[in-house]
Amino acid sequence: MQPGSLIPDRQLTFSPELAATIGLEEAVLLQEIGGLLKDRTGWTAVNLQQLQAQLPFWSTTQIGELIKKLTELGILASAHHPDPQMLMLAIASPERTDRSANTPDRPHHAVTTPWIPDRALIDLLILNHGMTDAFIDEARQSFIPDANREIETQFRQHVLSQWRTRQTQQNTFEISPAAPFGKDWVPSQDALEILTQAGIDAAFANAVRAEFVLYWSERGGAPKEINSRFVEHVRRRWLRHTSQMQHSTEPTRIPRNWQPDPAVYDTLRLAGIDEASARALLPEFIMYWLDSNEVHTSWNSKFLQHVKRQCRADNEGDQHGGEQGRGNAGTSYRSKDRSLSDDLTDTSWAS
């Protein structure tokens, strides 16, 4: 229509009798589509966007609904096109109504309204292949079923083909290179949190990191499960460290305020020696070893030997000296017949 004029350049025509039979809108659209069908006996690809440009008072959605009505009335036959903006249209015939019509380049395609797959099939595709609802719906728009084959099988194959193509284009299966491994390597935050939850000091874990890196560098590189290996390594070293802290194997001199482990008194109690008798011998024991200035790995064992030897000597003195001189006899036995050095270095009690 020219500017300033209400006289249209192009007019739409339709059959009043047809409009009275199928409806005004359907008659107008059918008249317009009729002019687009190049072959009245075959299929024609119709661009919905171009059709909407010729009928600007309708949207493409409204045009699709009207085409669906014309298909249901048996006037038109429609089929999907790989391009979602296109639609295959033809004049309906008994052969096409019976789903035996052929479309250009696609033989034996069923002529139906848009097919919707069953929800169970969609869920199966999502579960087995990690697809999304949006992708399946997008693939459905380009799906053209074949009347001679089971439609759900066709659709599943069609969607899988589209999915593999999408993954290939996005390099989904490309394996990313491993992170560089060297002296600057640090464990992941997850690995450090696991060690912290196990009560292992973070400073200790960092202290053994260099040793761990050197170990795997000499073997040609880090394994895939490098963080798990690091957690195992730190746990082993931590166990060894705490064990050495509790049971030192380093020879030391006896401290002036040294006290035996409570387990020593328990062991002596099993031998019939009470704790009070053992504690009475402790000052003499400490004084002797302070003067000797010797070093040993276990002062508990030394004290255990000393107490058992002294108590055995007391018992022997009691047996020879009688009730009245029992105490003096035991003391005389220790001071005259044996020195403290002899007592502490004697191991005959263990035989």
Give the helix/strand (H/E) hosting 9.
none
Per-residue pLDDT at 91: 80
Q: Do both 270 and 311 map to the same domain? A: yes
Residue 306 belongs to a domain? yes
Residue 199 pLDDT level (bands cut at 50, 70, 90): confident
Rounded average pLDDT over 298-305: 85
Q: Which tens digit of pLDDT belongs to each residue from 46-57?
A: 888 888 888 888
Whichever domain contains 74, its CATH number is: 1.10.10.10
Share of the chain above pLDDT 70, in %: 74
Using alpha carbons, list the distances in angstroms from residue 191 to 59, 205, 313: 58, 10, 59
Q: Which of these, 23, 33, 101, 21, lies nearest to 67 by C-alpha position?
A: 33
- Please tell me the distance from the alpha carbon of residue 305 to that of residue 344, in angstroms, as a whole number: 7
Sign, CA dihedral 69-75-79-85, equals: negative
Q: Which tens digit of pLDDT belongs to each residue from 282-297?
A: 998 989 988 888 888 7
149: phi then psi, degrees, rounded to nearest 5: -130, 160
Domain that holds residue 320: 262-350
Q: Do both 196 and 232 map to the same domain? A: yes
Residue 4 belongs to a domain? no
Q: Among 81-85, 143-147, 300-304, which stretch is predicted with the lowest mean pLDDT?
A: 143-147
Rounded average pLDDT over 297-304: 84
- Please tell me the distance from the alpha carbon of residue 159 to that of residue 139, in angstroms, as a whole number: 6
Check pLDDT > 80 for residue 158: yes
Q: Which tens digit of pLDDT belongs to each residue from 10-48?
A: 677 777 877 788 888 888 888 888 888 766 667 888 888
Check pLDDT > 70 for residue 306: yes
- What does the angle CA 196 – CA 178 – CA 203 come to, to the nearest 5 degrees? 25
Which amino acid makes up residue 267? T
The domain tally of the chain equals 4
More confident site: 197 or 240? 197
Residue 201 belongs to a domain? yes
229 and 187 Cβ atoms separated by less than 8 Å = no
Residue 253 belongs to a domain? no
Q: Do both 282 and 346 map to the same domain? A: yes
Beta bridge partners of 146: 109
Beta carbons within 10 angstroms of residue 52's beta carbon: 17
Q: Do both 273 and 322 map to the same domain? A: yes
| Token code pair at residue 349 | 């009690």
Q: Which of 10-24, 170-184, 308-322 has the highest mean pLDDT?
A: 10-24
Residue 51 belongs to a domain? yes
Residue 181 belongs to a domain? no
Per-residue pLDDT at 237: 86
Per-residue pLDDT at 173: 45
- What does the angle CA 176 – CA 177 – CA 183 come to, to the nearest 5 degrees? 140
Check pLDDT > 50 for residue 350: no
Per-residue pLDDT at 152: 81
| pTM for the structure as a whole | 0.30
Q: Do both 230 and 275 map to the same domain? A: no
Q: Do both 346 and 270 map to the same domain? A: yes
Q: Which of these, 221, 263, 265, lies nearest to 246 by C-alpha position?
A: 263
Q: Which H, E and C letters describe 164-208, residue by residue?
A: HHHHHHCCCCCCCCCCCCCCCCCCCHHHHHHHHHCCCCHHHHHHC
347 and 304 Cβ atoms separated by less than 8 Å = no
Q: Do both 268 and 305 map to the same domain? A: yes
Residue 110 belongs to a domain? no
Per-residue pLDDT at 336: 42
- Please tell me the distance from the alpha carbon of residue 328 to that of residue 72, in angstroms, as a whole number: 127
Rounded average pLDDT over 123-152: 80
Q: Do both 134 and 164 map to the same domain? A: yes
- Characterize the bridge pairing of strands 44-47 and 86-91: antiparallel
Q: Do both 241 and 266 map to the same domain? A: no
| Token code pair at residue 141 | 């728009």
Q: Do both 331 and 300 map to the same domain? A: yes
Per-residue pLDDT at 146: 72
Q: Do both 206 and 231 map to the same domain? A: yes
pLDDT, averaged across the chain: 76
Strand order in the sheet with 76-80: 44-47, 86-91, 76-80
- Please tell me the distance from the alpha carbon of residue 316 to that of residue 313, in angstroms, as a whole number: 5
- Please tell me the distance from the alpha carbon of residue 148 to that of residue 318, in angstroms, as a whole number: 114
Per-residue pLDDT at 283: 92
Q: Do both 274 and 201 map to the same domain? A: no
Residue 1 belongs to a domain? no
| Token code pair at residue 58 | 């309708």
Per-residue pLDDT at 328: 46
112: phi then psi, degrees, rounded to nearest 5: -140, 170
- Please tell me the distance from the alpha carbon of residue 274 to that of residue 266, in angstroms, as a whole number: 9
Residue owning tokens 């033989």 = 107
Residue 3 pLDDT level (bands cut at 50, 70, 90): low
Using alpha carbons, list the distances in angstroms from residue 87 to 58, 60, 200, 323: 17, 12, 68, 124
Q: Which tens digit of pLDDT belongs to each residue from 327-348?
A: 444 443 444 455 566 666 665 5
- Please tell me the distance from the alpha carbon of residue 81 to that of residue 143, in angstroms, as a whole number: 8
Backbone φ/ψ region at 171: left (φ over 0), alpha (ψ -120 to 50), beta: left
Rounded average pLDDT over 117-126: 81
